[in-house]
């Protein structure tokens, strides 16, 4: 297995690596609590320099042919493949994802996404359309600010930067300060793939400084943000002064509706797996399991037995299924929600706030199952972002749909039923951007995004390319 790359730590502005020359932000391995690197704490001036570089590069990059941009993206995908192991090791080192998951998902899904964008641009996607006497053009929007989170550090970068570049835009990337090393390695990939200087720029730093400066900058034509709903509101506010486009992929509290005719063992196994994926640090995780009230206790026993199989420990061990949370702060946040659930009367069926059986060093929490969770409880309403599953009883199908739609979120969800048409009917009633029926697999070409406070706009597939374009009508 390759070693993590901890040396690509500077800003990248107009093709130059810069150390910032000021304060630094420690990058901490959450499994060991050790500082493994430091990145510059960027400033508004750094953002300004990066935006200027991107603006200067836009004139040339936006006029390159689609075929040339496709060729660059294919080289990026190939380079991501060549560096897959060091990408995975870097992700595990900086945010704690188990190495098997880092290899198979964190570092592999982005390769498929990049190739998918290239395939679309090389095939069905069109930047022109004839409507009557009008020629309708899709043109690059300009300089795009991409603000990405720590939980899927490479995938979220690729899902924004690659379609933005493919559409002819230039980019300023601000990654999470918790997982910035992956972004530095990604910039090395772009350099190796022949992306011209200034087309993609990287500024490290915090959200309140760099993120806000990027969102507010008049030279930025669009901001694409993935993160918490709270932070998304701040980005929107900062961007409002320049009336730029803002695309948001925010939090979730997804419901897994298990109907009374479902294959219960399969539904429980898949439901627990989804809730605990990436240690529960996944915006689409099915963190609410809605079950028939008459079978609540039986299903809770099944869920607890499944949860017991999720080994917690060193993320560099192949058998580990849940590594540490991304940081001590995230660990404390998750434990706080577990205690809140107990205080509000939910039943701990498995796990809980006792960490005595876990490694003494590192940001570990136990996988937890709550039973008898009511819709008004905090753990049923707020995004926890950890391995915490709430089992919620319902009496009728209508009540299940009502509970599923009872939060401010609407990002993902699931239905399990022995009757596919019944499952589809329930899925259509769920107010959410994605729904899986009987464990339908993730599709990187389908639109990804949410309803309500889970955000606006869509990523992935042709929809993710369209998001980074402006429409122009020319009448002839």
H helices present in 35-152, as ranges: 44-61, 66-82, 84-95, 99-101, 109-121
Token pair 């996404």 in the structure block, residue:
113
C-alpha span between 300 and 345 (Å, rounded): 16
The DSSP secondary structure of 209-242, one letter per residue, reads IIIHHHHH-TT--EEEEES-HHHHHHHHHHHHTT
Q: Is 34 a catalytic residue?
A: no
Contact 276, 373 (CB under 8 A): no
The DSSP secondary structure of 300-347, one letter per residue, reads HHHHHHHHTT--BS-TTSTT-SB---SSHHHHHHHHHHHHHHHHTT-E
Nearest to 90 by CA among 79, 106, 104, 111: 106
Structural tokens at position 438: 């009987």
Structural tokens at position 140: 């690059």
C-alpha span between 86 and 99 (Å, rounded): 11
Token pair 């390319």 in the structure block, residue:
465
Beta bridge partners of 394: 292
Strands 134-140 and 128-131, bridge-based pairing = antiparallel
H helices present in 167-294, as ranges: 181-193, 212-216, 229-240, 264-275
Nearest to 123 by CA among 62, 193, 67: 67
374 phi and psi angles, rounded to 5 deg: -95, 150
Contact 276, 321 (CB under 8 A): yes
Catalytic residue among 177, 212, 249, 459: 249
Contact 133, 475 (CB under 8 A): yes
Residue 308: CB atoms within 10 A of its CB come to 12
C-alpha span between 264 and 243 (Å, rounded): 49
Helix (H, G, I), strand (E, B) or coil at 245: strand
Catalytic annotation, residues: 249
């Amino acid at each position: 297995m390759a070693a993590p790359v901890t040396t690509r730590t500077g800003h990248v502005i107009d093709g130059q690596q810069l150390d910032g020359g000021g304060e630094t932000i420690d990058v901490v391995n959450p499994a060991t609590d050790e500082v493994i690197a430091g990145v510059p704490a960027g400033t508004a001036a750094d953002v300004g320099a990066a935006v200027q570089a991107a603006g200067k590069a836009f004139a040339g990059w936006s006029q390159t042919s689609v075929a040339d941009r496709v060729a660059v993206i294919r080289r990026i995908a190939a380079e991501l493949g060549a560096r897959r192991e060091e990408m995975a090791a870097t992700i595990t080192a900086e945010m704690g994802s188990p190495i098997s998951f880092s290899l198979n998902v964190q570092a592999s899904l982005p390769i498929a996404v990049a190739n998918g964008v290239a395939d679309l641009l090389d095939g069905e996607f069109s930047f022109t359309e004839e409507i009557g006497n009008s020629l309708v053009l899709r043109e690059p929007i300009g300089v795009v600010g991409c603000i990405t989170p720590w939980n899927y550090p490479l995938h979220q970068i690729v899902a924004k930067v690659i379609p933005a570049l493919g559409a002819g835009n230039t980019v300023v990337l601000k990654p999470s300060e918790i997982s910035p090393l992956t972004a530095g390695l990604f910039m090395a990939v772009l350099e190796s793939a022949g992306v011209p200087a200034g087309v993609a720029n990287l500024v490290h730093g915090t959200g309140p400084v760099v993120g806000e400066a990027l969102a507010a900058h008049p030279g930025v034509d669009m901001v694409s943000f993935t993160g918490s709903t709270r932070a998304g509101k701040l980005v929107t506010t900062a961007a409002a002064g320049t009336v730029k486009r803002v695309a948001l992929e925010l939090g979730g509290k997804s419901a897994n509706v298990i109907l009374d005719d479902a294959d219960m063992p399969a539904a429980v196994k898949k439901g627990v797996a989804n809730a605990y994926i990436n240690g529960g640090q996944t915006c689409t995780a099915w963190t609410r399991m809605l079950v028939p009230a008459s079978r609540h206790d039986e299903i809770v026993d099944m869920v607890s037995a499944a949860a017991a199989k999720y080994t917690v420990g060193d993320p560099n061990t192949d058998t580990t299924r849940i590594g540490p949370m991304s940081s001590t702060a995230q660990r404390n946040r998750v434990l706080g929600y577990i205690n809140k659930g107990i205080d509000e009367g939910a039943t701990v069926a498995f796990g809980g706030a006792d960490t005595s059986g876990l490694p003494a060093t590192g940001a570990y929490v136990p996988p937890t199952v709550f039973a008898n969770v009511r819709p008004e409880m905090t753990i049923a309403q707020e995004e926890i972002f950890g391995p915490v599953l709430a089992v919620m009883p319902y009496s009728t199908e209508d009540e299940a749909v009502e509970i599923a739609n009872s939060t401010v979120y609407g990002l993902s969800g699931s239905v399990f039923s022995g009757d596919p048409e019944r499952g589809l009917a329930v899925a259509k009633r769920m107010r959410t951007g994605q729904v899986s029926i009987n464990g339908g697999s993730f599709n990187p070409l389908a639109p990804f995004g949410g309803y309500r406070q889970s955000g606006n706009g869509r990523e992935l597939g042709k929809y993710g390319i369209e998001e980074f374009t402006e429409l122009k009508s020319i009448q002839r």
